[in-house]
Structure 1
Amino acid sequence: MKSSIGTAVTFLPPGTPGEVCSSWNRAALAANVASRAAQLGLGADLTRSQMAGLAQLVRDGAGKPRPLSAKTQSAIRAALRPPLTPESDPSQVAAAVFAALPDTPLPVTGNDGRRYYLVAVPAA
């Protein structure tokens, strides 16, 4: 079953700069890995091996396993931190949003109690 939210090639418009595409891909992968990790009860202390295995799983086993960069590992760990909630202080929300840009998913809990990962969609 396809579990990915896609890559920059399928999501962003043609001509998007490479560094923007890399940031999008990192955030999308980190959100997918963090989601799977959370489903398994894993937190930000998961091992590099666990992250790599989950990344391979969300990639549907496509290709040979690849090591994750330090930036991607950091984005995954950040996505597994306690989520912001509707009760979070607005200054805390603003700080978290701007610290996450451009390549770290932001975990939030919605009014419905579900956990979401906000991934920035670049406008240009």
Structure 2
Amino acid sequence: MRYWILVALFYVLFALAMHFAAPQMYGTIPYYIGLGVCSLIALIITWNDPPALLDEIIFFAFKWGALVGGMAFSVWGIGYKLEFWGNSESDAVFSRAFDTIMPNLAILTGLMILFGAYIWYPRK
């Protein structure tokens, strides 16, 4: 729990510093890198802390959320490829890039998430 409190406090301090020092940097890549550095600093500070109940709940949600997300992404991609939903113009001569790339990417990404969860989570 202490990690999330530190992350929130560092984000607020970073946002205040950016607001006064460089307001034009909001939404840029260096701004998001700075937020990532704030998260890493909080991680280093709380490296050896014992996990609390909220941390266990969040890890449980991430673990099973990744499995459910991978499965849903794969099912969406397979359903889109089989035209259960999506392309309603079956006689169209042209197709958008979304219609050809996204279902394949969804199937591949979903299967990779499921395979990674199958390999990683039983070890925890």
Q: Same fold (TM over 0.5)?
A: no
- TM-score, normalised to structure 1's length? 0.29
Larger % of strand: which?
1
- TM-score, normalised to structure 2's length? 0.29
